[in-house]
Amino acid sequence: MPNERLTVSVVMPVYGGERFLRPSIEAVLDQSYRELELIVIDDGSPDASAAIARDYLADPRVKVFSKANGGVASARNYGVAQCRGDLVAFCDQDDVWLPDKLERQIALFANPDTVLVHGWGAIARREDLADAIEPHAVSTDLEGDLLHEIVRRNFVICSSALLRRQVLLDVGPFDEDPAINGVDDWNMWVRVATRGRIDVVKDIVVLVRRHGSNQSSNEGRMLAAELACLEKLEPLLPPADARAMVRDSRFEASRHYAGNFFHAGDYRAAARCLHLAWRQRPRRVDLLALAAALALTPAAAWNSLRRLKRVVGDSGRTTTPDAARDIAPPDGARSSPAGSPDTSAAEPRTDTPRPSTASAHHASSVDP
């Protein structure tokens, strides 16, 4: 079917989203590519989200469904079951698409091997989106057969993803296991990546709001979710490579969260993460040594080091002390923006945004 005739189903899970829902819905309906349907799934919202969504039913492209609360993966699965388009897109209740997002992505489906197209995002720090100019930390130029890369870290912003519906049906539904809440989209992208190539629009296509209601859980919970996700993915990966791929991802996750814990002042948790990273690569005794230092050195000493993380040398250039360089934020980040709205009423919402990403936002990593 020619790309210009492809139809798109947009799935928008909603839970307690009344504050930001209207701009998100309107950005979908205002797309330059008109062949779309918007499927809003109210996941048992306690506020006026469902009523706000129904305000748009005058547009025949809009469909609104309500269900008992089951979490974001459950809401996405419910939405996918209603889809009739050739392609399926996801948009979180507080993110905003740029007007030509779909049009630019659909052009890349001219390649029949392409199963998923995503795009870059920018962080919106104010409600009016006026300063949404910070590039998202996980934006990547990579395209092609990216199974190894997507296992290593999630670089797909959920609200930027556009997939072939048949591939989505072939790989099965989003995993609703609460153990991987917050990374269920990563689990899906890995499974999709086993079916073909991933392409990217190398430009900003979505504004990702960063605010106190994002579902970016506390660091310990997110690390546990990523490790649980890797356990689920290993049997689905090519047998010859699966163990090494999972070990590499576990190593990167451990280092990433060690950095996050360190910069949050939780040095013992950082030490535990470094120990886990060392277990993946036992030759990295430097990680084991740093873990011991973090565990045994008084917290006050590390606090002082953090306050002195940048000093001015005699040359007038800023430098970083050697020890501080061992625990420095990297340029990139591990996962996509806290993209997922927390649609789970069963769990308390721990809404502290995860640094620069996977909520993508200022991820840090220990890098001796």
Reference 223, options 193, 260, 191, 190; nearest CA is: 260
User: What's the pTM value of the predicted model, to 2 decimals?
Assistant: 0.84
Confidence of residue 128 (pLDDT cuts 50, 70, 90): low
For 97-124, what is each residue's pLDDT tens digit?
A: 999 999 999 999 999 999 999 999 988 7
CA 88 to chain centroid, in Å, comes to 17
How far apart, in Å, are the Cα atoms of 155 and each of 62, 96, 229, 315, 347? 29, 18, 15, 38, 26
β-strand partners of 201: 119
Q: What's residue 288's pLDDT?
A: 95
d(CA 186, CA 39): 21
pLDDT at residue 327 is higher than 60? no
Q: Using N-to-C axis directions, what is the helix angle for 219-233 and 239-263, rounded to 10°?
A: 180
72-99 average pLDDT score? 97
β-strand partners of 117: 162, 199
Percent of the chain topping pLDDT 70: 77
Confidence of residue 305 (pLDDT cuts 50, 70, 90): confident
252-257 average pLDDT score? 95
Percent of the chain topping pLDDT 90: 71
pLDDT at residue 53 is higher than 80? yes
Reference 306, options 330, 275, 327; nearest CA is: 327
Q: What is the DSSP string of 284-321?
A: -HHHHHHHHHHHHS-HHHHHHHHHTSSEE-TTS-EE--
Q: Any residues with CB less than 8 A from the CB of 40 and at least 6 apart, and which? A: 12, 14, 25, 53, 62, 63, 64, 65
Confidence of residue 8 (pLDDT cuts 50, 70, 90): very high
β-strand partners of 162: 89, 117
CB count within 10 Å of CB 268 equals: 13
Q: What's residue 152's pLDDT?
A: 95
Which residue has tokens 């630019």? 104
Mean predicted lDDT score pLDDT of the chain = 84
Confidence of residue 26 (pLDDT cuts 50, 70, 90): very high
